[in-house]
Every structure is written in structure tokens, then in C-alpha cells.
Amino acid sequence: MSMLKQEIITENSRWMTDCQALIEGTLKLPEGLEEISGILEIAGLAELGEIRAGEGRIDLDGTARFSILYMDKKGEIGCFDSECRLAHGVEEEGITPDMQVLGEIRVGDVTGKLIDGTSIAIRAELNINLYALGNEEFELLEAYNTDKNVEIKEQVQKLPYIRTAKCVQSYVKDELRVPQSMPPVRQVLLSRGYAVAKNIHKEEDKIVVEGDLRVFIVYLSPDKNAPLQYMSETLPFGEIINDAGCTEDSPIFVTANLERLVVDTQEENPDLLEVSAVIRICSLCFGEKETYLVEDLYDRQHECKLTWLPMQTCRRRQLEGQKKVVRMGITVPDSAPEVARVLYSCAMPEILSVTPGRDRAAVEGVMRYLLCYTTADAGIKSLQASVPFTTDLSLPGVGENSDVHVEAFAEYAVVEGSGRELEARCCMEICAYETVCTSFRAVADAEMGAELPVAAPGIVVYFAGGGESLWDIAKKFRVRTDAFAGEWEDDGQPLEQGTKLVLIRS
């Protein structure tokens, strides 16, 4: 049997999204600050350090930074920052040491419990996305055949592979002006935010990424009647990633994650704030090669022992971003004082499930609200509430067999009302990508066996038994694939049971 072999390259990656980790520990109040009487808010960001791929696992380290807003025992508003090192390992079958790993860490739900006036027990959830990237080489039979006794069933597959993968840190410095309707800034107490990559352009030897940095700021004003103020603003960011291996027609995938954020006042101008941020941008550039493979074969004169290689290809597509507004009610529990006036509110959506449909996806999640409010006795308290939500996304081109991954951020959250029954609405900024995987098998090797008895020339009348294609029947009788009398075209589909076929043996 004269069959040539070919070497093919295809992507062999492991995408591990929604990995979870937990930080538990104690935050200590810095010396010189008045003791804490109550916690108002804890916000956090995480910065990824080193990522290492091993045999069947990925190890990473980084830094988690927390900003704590609190009421002290004198009834004043205070704040301090704290940070800790983090280390985590994720086990996953198929990970090898030669893989390149990209990733991002986001701080999820954070809760704090006051131990005493100087200590806070903290519990912070970490949401980790890891992309272990690599290509794998296979040796398969070529679809080209020089043996006249061998019949080949050919298949054409578009095999994706990783061209390039990069991560860079984008540094943002900008100014924010406090709206004229708000009092000036005496002190920035707390800041948080998120980053989203929105416009991605491919140019010669580079990828241009443009996006939005959404910043939320809690500050102290000189207004004694309204000392606690809250504002938000959107700042643009951009980065040019040099990538000579990425062509203009290459599919690309880009993520952005805010890792550091600092907001400071300007002494000479209390209406201006200086914003410094570090955004981690990861880009993946894919290639795709159309390859002719052998799906099946047989020799009309000999037994054949075939070795098949099962394969799977996955194509990923970044979907257009969109915004969704969800409305819900919040009930203040009996253990907390009633709300007199909401000072500010924020939210963090957590996606629990995504169910794709035709051109759409149904999303279920939990909205984690935090509201800071005044009480009837003019005190300031905070409340955390988790409320389930559902929403539908319009995703053109998505099908029921797609796997859709969704990241959601709260662009704004508004909580209105007083007492114990409040109304809330949140505008979510949605980022999503689709993965469609195709499984198939190809012949890697064919070994010739014993010679078959020679069948006498003649005509065979056969009635399809159901579930058989023309190829299956030709292979069964060891005839040429064009041995069927009449006009037949093998589309690979099973013939209807009882279909009459005439085979001509020559």
C-alpha cells in the first residue's frame, strides 16, 4: 500500500475560565489612626505576577490590594490601604511545561468582619481566567493516493493554530474634573474600577487596542452636611501591541483587566483629580489552515488495519459588547437599621450560568449590592445584599451548540427609597466570547493485511438496510466508489431504508 504521510499543526490549548480562589486573613489598622467602630466598604484589585506551567497544573502568584472605608469611634470617616501576596495552583489535564500561559485575576465579593477596633477579618473571592496556549504536531495520512486498489474517503478540515500570544501592561495617567454640582475634594477615601477592551484594530505588524477605564471614587468633602461624596467617570485608554506574526486577516482575541488604580487630589486645584492606572492587556492571534485528511479508506484486494486519531478543533470569536439594565428590589434585614437616605451604592454582578440559543443567550446571575446610607439618628451605615437576576443577550451568529463565556461589570448602580423596601437598578457592561468545538477523527496509519478472495465480476442488487451511506456499502462489497449504476452522489448521509442499489463488479 503506497500512502504518504503529512505533518499537521493544530492548536492544543486549555482555556480555564471562572477558576476560583479565596483570600482569608486579618487586616490591621495602621498605627496612629482612630479605632474602627464600623466598616463601610472594602474594595479590592489583584495584580498577576508570575505564571508557570507544569505537568498537569499551573502555578501563579501576585498581589491583592484592598482599600478600606470605615467609621471610627469618634464618628469620623476614615480609610486605609492594605495588600498581601497571593499564590494559587490550578490542576488541569493536558497542561504541559512548554505551554505559554496568559491570565487575569479579578477580586470578586469581599466581606469584612470587625474583630476589634484595630483588626478586620477579611474574606475575598478571586475570579481567575487562565489560557494555557500551545500547538501540537500530528502525523496523518495524506489524502493523495497512488495505489489504484485503495479507495479513500476524504475530509477537509480548517485547523486552527496559535500564531502569537502576548501580555503587556498599559499605563494610564489622566485627570478628572469634579462636576460643578458637587462639592470640592478634601480627601480621596476609596477608588475602584474596571477596564474593557472595545475597539481592536489590526495593522501591519501591530494590534491597536482601544478601551474604556471606568473609575468610581468615594471622597470626603468640606461640606459638613454632606461629607461623603461619590462620583464616577469613564476614561479612554489605548495600547499598541507590536506583533509581527499577526496578519490582517488573522482572528484575534483581546482581554483587558484593571490591576492597579490610584486617585490623588491636586493641592492647588481641589476640583481636579489625578488618576493613575495599570491595565493588563492580553492578545491572542490565531491562524487557520485548510487541510485534506483521510476520514476512512479500504483496499479492494487486502484487509486493512487502520489507526484513527481522534481530534477536536475549537474556534473562538469575540462577541460585540452590549449593555443591559436590570431592576430588582432590596429588603433591609431586621438586623440592620432602616434607611433614611442612600448616600451611594455600587454593585458587582456574578454570572452563574449562560444558556445559548439561536442568536441569543439566557443569563442567570447574582447582583451583589453595597449601599452606604444614613440612619434616622444621622449615623452612617453600610449594607451588602445579594439579589438574583436574569437577562437575555442578543448574540448574532451564536447557536445552541456554542459555548458562551460572559464577563459582566456594573457601569452604574442606583438604589432609591427609604425604610426597609428599596428599589435598585444596575446597568451592566457585558463582554462575551463564543467557543465552537468540532470533533472528528482522521486516519493516522494503514497497515495492509491478508489478501482477500477475488470476487467474480458481475452485478449485485442491494437494498439499503438503513443507517448506511454509499461509502459504507462500497466498503462492504469492496468495490470502487463509482461502481453504482445510475446517478448517485455520496453526501455522507445515510440512505433511506430499502433504497435499491445496483453495484457493478468489474
On the question of pLDDT at 1 being above 70, the answer is no
On the question of pLDDT at 154 being above 80, the answer is yes
Same domain, yes or no: 428 and 361: yes
Cell of 229: 461624596
pLDDT score at 18: 86
On the question of pLDDT at 143 being above 90, the answer is no
pLDDT score at 167: 94
Is residue 177 assigned to a domain?
Answer: no
pLDDT score at 244: 86
Give the phi and the psi of residue 496 in degrees, each rounded to 5. -65, 140
DSSP code at position 372: E
Same domain, yes or no: 369 and 469: no
In the chain, the percentage of residues whose pLDDT exceeds 90 is 80
Is residue 340 assigned to a domain?
Answer: yes
Same domain, yes or no: 425 and 351: yes
Is residue 80 assigned to a domain?
Answer: no
Same domain, yes or no: 320 and 417: yes
Judged by average pLDDT, the poorest of 85-89, 420-424, 483-487 is 483-487
In the chain, the percentage of residues whose pLDDT exceeds 70 is 99
Average pLDDT, integer, range 473-501: 87
Q: What is the pLDDT of residues 43-81, one digit of tens each?
A: 999 999 999 999 999 999 999 999 999 999 999 999 999
**Which element (helix H / strand E) includes 471?**
helix 470-477
Residue recorded with cell 455520496: 490
Same domain, yes or no: 467 and 498: yes
**Which element (helix H / strand E) includes 355?**
strand 341-357
Quote the longest CA-to-CA distance of the chain: 106
| Of the candidates 220, 146, 143, the residue with the CA atom closest to the CA atom of residue 185 | 220
pLDDT score at 490: 79
pLDDT score at 2: 64
Of the candidates 438, 467, 489, which is a domain's last residue?
A: 438
Q: What is the pLDDT of residues 16-40, one digit of tens each?
A: 988 999 999 999 999 999 999 999 9
Sheet holding 206-220, edge to edge: 187-203, 206-220, 228-242
Long-range contacts of 80-88 (CB under 8 A, 24+ apart): 80/29, 80/30, 80/33, 82/27, 82/28, 84/23, 84/25, 85/61, 86/21, 86/23, 86/46, 86/61, 86/62, 86/126, 87/59, 87/60, 87/61, 88/21, 88/59, 88/60, 88/61, 88/126, 88/128
CATH code of residue 460: 3.10.350
Same domain, yes or no: 403 and 338: yes
Same domain, yes or no: 466 and 420: no
Q: Considering its fold, how many domains does the chain have in total?
A: 2
User: CA triplet 415, 421, 423: central angle to 5 degrees?
Assistant: 30
Cα separation of 165 and 96, whole Å? 17
Is residue 345 assigned to a domain?
Answer: yes
pLDDT score at 100: 96
Is residue 66 assigned to a domain?
Answer: no
Same domain, yes or no: 327 and 402: yes
Same domain, yes or no: 331 and 429: yes
Is residue 313 within 8 A of residue 436, CB to CB? The reply is no
Cα separation of 100 and 11, whole Å? 12
Same domain, yes or no: 331 and 428: yes
Of the candidates 407, 438, 469, which is a domain's last residue?
A: 438
pLDDT score at 269: 86
Same domain, yes or no: 337 and 419: yes
pLDDT score at 137: 94
**Which element (helix H / strand E) includes 470?**
helix 470-477
Is residue 208 within 8 A of residue 201, CB to CB? The reply is yes
- Write the burial class of residue 499 (CB in 10 Å: 0-12 exposed, 13-18 middle, 19+ buried): middle
Is residue 428 assigned to a domain?
Answer: yes
Judged by average pLDDT, the poorest of 74-78, 109-113, 488-492, 498-502 is 488-492
On the question of pLDDT at 148 being above 90, the answer is no
Q: In which band, very low, low, confident or very high, does the pLDDT at 89 lie, cut at 50, 70 and 90?
A: very high
Of the candidates 438, 463, 488, which is a domain's last residue?
A: 438
Is residue 367 assigned to a domain?
Answer: yes
Q: In which band, very low, low, confident or very high, does the pLDDT at 264 lie, cut at 50, 70 and 90?
A: very high
Q: What is the pLDDT of residues 309-352, one digit of tens each?
A: 999 999 899 999 999 999 999 999 999 999 999 999 999 999 99
User: CA triplet 450, 443, 447: central angle to 5 degrees?
Assistant: 20
Is residue 283 assigned to a domain?
Answer: no
Amino acid at 390: T
- Domain housing 375: 316-438
Same domain, yes or no: 381 and 486: no
On the question of pLDDT at 92 being above 70, the answer is yes
Round the average pLDDT of the chain to a whole number and report it: 93
**Which element (helix H / strand E) includes 474?**
helix 470-477
